[in-house]
Amino acid sequence: RMSTWKPIQNELSKRVKFKSTKTVELIHTDVCGPIKPKSLGKSNYFLLFIDDFSRKTWVYFLKEKSEVFEIFKKFKAHVEKESGLVIKTMRSDSGGEFTSKEFLKYCEDNGIRRQLTVPRSPQQNGVAERKNRTILEMARSMLKSKRLPKELWAEAVACAVYLLNRSPTKSVSGKTPQEAWSGRKPGVSHLRVFGSIAHAHVPDEKRNKLDDKSEKYIFIGYDNNSKGYKLYNPDTKKTIISRNIVFDEEGEWDWNSNEEDYNFFPHFEEDKPEPTREEPPSEEPTTPPTSPTSSQIEESSSERTPRFRSIQELYEVTENQENLTLFCLFAECEPMDFQEAIEKKTWRNAMDEEIKSIQKNDTWELTSLPNGHKAIGVKWVYKAKKNSKGEVERYKARLVAKGYSQRAGIDYDEIFAPVARLETVRLIISLAAQNKWKIHQMDVKSAFLNGDLEEEVYIEQPQGYIVKGEEDKVLRLKKVLYGLKQAPRAWNTRIDKYFKEKDFIKCPYEHALYIKIQKEDILIACLYVDDLIFTGNNPSMFEEFKKEMTKEFEMTDIGLMSYYLGIEVKQEDNGIFITQEGYAKEVLKKFKMDDSNPVCTPMECGIKLSKKEEGEGVDPTNL
């Protein structure tokens, strides 16, 4: 018989796994408990829901298993309202709480397909079972690390699920469950260590002059209905929500007892699901304290003390990840370091172009490091330049000095450099439109490399371009390099000197605006770091200006200005039109409003109108 059974079992295990393509298409669920002792909210069970597509998890705390059906109806209304879709399939075990007559009839009436596991086959509900184990390990670690009593297990589970919903998972490539569910990347700056000491501010109206301004609590999680932290005071047994808090994340609550007196994680027994479909005894369900946070907990085979990893170990694990897109912070398409960039030809060509530009400009010379000097490190920075439509136009690699290691008064003096204000740019566009002038645009290649360096600065040889046989030598800078503190100032000094030599007059109120007048002709130039726009009434002055600039600096002639500082410019015969269509679409997409219907707003909302007495009368019926 065994020889007959094994092939069938193996064949069933090889069935293709289903992966949903939309949210709430498939929901995994499970109940865990009873857990002893009861939580602060007198709960004994967890009810877990997991969305298969986003892997976002919800957890509800129950007193009795008979409450499962009522909680599911609330959960269904919540997620369907939030997602705009309906639940199609639900996968669970064959426990009586999921197979009652009223539950099955409700699912049938709402078109929800049920997928039930066979007895003693928890692997068929593997998503929920594995999530249980993950939550269990996290909750145990959090309770153990801060020496918290077992009554806080519910808060530890809720906090663990909150963190998992905002952590990368292999099941969702490049996103966290929360982002896959809502479409918005969650913030992590507010996260704090569970169980740490929190000093909550006491409002003035609730204390006397000599009373303490803060009260000591334990941080036990995040509130789901407000932007606040959940705090618990073991002395008063009081739980509050507050946001005016000072955290001591390394501190612990003084329980005035030995560690042996506490069982740091509760003992519980998992009810084995019976393969029966009989309806359990009907009891009036009591409304449980719920927490729409996420997940659940399962039985543990041992009570081992977890080993805490050091920060260095966590960094090493992060660096060894094969798929960096699993991390939220690595969402950009640019390489993170030289080793990643050298693998692609486009970035290799960009680095070669940067080195050629530096060598052509005679920026440095190879030499030995003198005594008393320290070489500044350099690194490669990569950027994919995009147009107004978001399309990549070119790949840019920049060699940048680690200017943070420079010392004021030794490696640099002044660092400030003026740039044109956006009001000035709009004024130039308005002036050109009024006089029907054309606005041209040019870009200075490696602008900062043109700045003259007055200080004596040495840098290390760039990675990938170290001279063979001269590995121990350094580079002495003749001109400024990107990343140096004085780079903007040196470039501005150089370009300012050039404009003055060419008979340009600098505006005394806008130091990035220059004007050149020849008899009745005028040329206006506006500079924003290395982006230059210019206009005037004589096109011949444009061509002469372009030739002189190209002769002095390495320039890129972009032609008529079309995209400048995030502003899209359309120059036509009947005027100049500026928009920020690309930016507006990006904002709409960020807040999931790109498919919304447009609404015309002909005038400012809420404006108060008054009658103009000296004006001509009009017939209001025409309006």
Tens digit of each residue's pLDDT (9 = 90 or more) over 466-478: 888 888 888 888 8
Say if CB 515 and CB 507 are below 8 A apart: yes
pLDDT, average across residues 544-571: 87
Element (H, E) at 189: none
pLDDT of res. 51: 92
Q: Identify which has the larger pLDDT, 365 or 19.
A: 365
| Cβ contacts of 42 within 8 Å, gap of 6 or more | 63, 289
Tell me the pLDDT tens digit for each residue of 516-548.
998 889 999 998 887 889 999 988 898 999 998
Question: pLDDT band for position 89 (50/70/90)?
Answer: very high
Which residues are bridge partners to 247 per DSSP? 198
pLDDT of res. 565: 82
E strands present in 353-447: 364-367, 378-386, 392-401, 440-444
Is it the case that residue 152 has pLDDT exceeding 80? Answer: yes
| Cβ contacts of 98 within 8 Å, gap of 6 or more | 29, 31, 68, 92, 116
* Mean pLDDT value across the chain: 79
Helix (H, G, I), strand (E, B) or coil at 61: strand
**Based on the number of CB atoms within 10 Å of its own CB, is 507 exposed (0-12), middle (13-18) or buried (19 or more)?**
middle
What angle is formed at CA 585 by the lines to CA 583 and CA 586, rounded to 5 degrees? 60
pLDDT of res. 56: 92
CATH number assigned to the domain with residue range 196-251, chosen from the 4 options 3.40.50, 2.30.30, 1.10.150, 1.20.5: 2.30.30
Question: What distance in Å separates the CA atoms of residue 342 and residue 540, rounded to the nearest whole number?
Answer: 45
Q: Which of 416, 382, 374, 146 is nearest to 264 (CA)?
A: 146
CA–CA distances in Å: residue 330 to residues 181, 190, 314: 19, 20, 16
User: What's the topology of domain 16-184+265-273+288-303?
Assistant: Nucleotidyltransferase; domain 5 (3.30.420)
pLDDT of res. 440: 92
Tell me the pLDDT tens digit for each residue of 401-427.
886 655 554 444 555 667 888 899 999
Q: Give the least confident one: 54-68, 278-292, 556-570.
A: 278-292
The residue whose two tokens read 């439109």 is 433
Question: pLDDT band for position 594 (50/70/90)?
Answer: confident
| Phi, psi dihedral angles at 202 (to 5 degrees) | -100, 120
Beta strands 113-116 and 89-92 are parallel
Tell me the pLDDT tens digit for each residue of 9-61.
555 555 556 678 888 889 999 888 788 888 888 888 878 899 988 899 998 98
Beta strands 45-51 and 57-62 are antiparallel
Q: Identify which has the larger pLDDT, 288 or 309.
A: 309
Question: pLDDT band for position 249 (50/70/90)?
Answer: confident
pLDDT of res. 298: 39
CB atoms inside a 10 Å sphere around CB 472:
8
Question: What distance in Å separates the CA atoms of residue 39 and residue 143, rounded to the nearest whole number?
Answer: 13
Say if CB 92 and CB 32 are below 8 A apart: no
Say if CB 199 and CB 215 are below 8 A apart: yes
Q: Which of 286, 334, 328, 270 is nearest to 129 (CA)?
A: 270
Q: Which of 159, 139, 158 is nearest to 150 (CA)?
A: 139
Q: Identify which has the larger pLDDT, 91 or 282.
A: 91
Domain boundaries along the sequence of the chain: 16-184+265-273+288-303, 196-251, 338-572
pLDDT of res. 217: 92
Q: Identify which has the larger pLDDT, 302 or 533.
A: 533
Is it the case that residue 174 has pLDDT exceeding 60? Answer: yes
pLDDT of res. 293: 43
CA–CA distances in Å: residue 455 to residues 42, 358, 477, 485, 491: 71, 18, 9, 11, 14
pLDDT of res. 582: 83
pLDDT of res. 261: 44
Question: What distance in Å separates the CA atoms of residue 413 and residue 433, rounded to the nearest whole number?
Answer: 42
pLDDT of res. 504: 92
CA–CA distances in Å: residue 44 to residues 32, 178, 239, 443: 9, 27, 19, 68
pLDDT, average across residues 141-160: 87
Tell me the pLDDT tens digit for each residue of 188-229.
888 999 989 999 988 888 888 888 888 899 999 998 888 889
Is it the case that residue 324 has pLDDT exceeding 60? Answer: no
pLDDT of res. 315: 56
Question: What distance in Å separates the CA atoms of residue 524 and residue 505, rounded to the nearest whole number?
Answer: 10
Task: Pull the structure tokens for residue 74.
Answer: 């609330």
Say if CB 340 and CB 322 are below 8 A apart: no
pLDDT of res. 431: 92
CB atoms inside a 10 Å sphere around CB 184:
11
Say if CB 5 and CB 32 are below 8 A apart: no
Maximal C-alpha separation, the chain: 107
pLDDT of res. 599: 77
Q: Which of 147, 144, 192, 154 is nearest to 306 (CA)?
A: 144
Question: What distance in Å separates the CA atoms of residue 602 and residue 177, rounded to the nearest whole number?
Answer: 41
pLDDT of res. 618: 77
Question: What distance in Å separates the CA atoms of residue 294 and residue 57, rounded to the nearest whole number?
Answer: 4
Tell me the pLDDT tens digit for each residue of 370-390.
887 888 888 888 888 777 666
CA–CA distances in Å: residue 403 to residues 289, 378, 461, 482: 55, 9, 15, 9
Q: Identify which has the larger pLDDT, 518 or 483.
A: 518
pLDDT of res. 147: 86
Q: What share of the chain has pLDDT > 90, as a percent? A: 14
Is it the case that residue 570 has pLDDT exceeding 60? Answer: yes
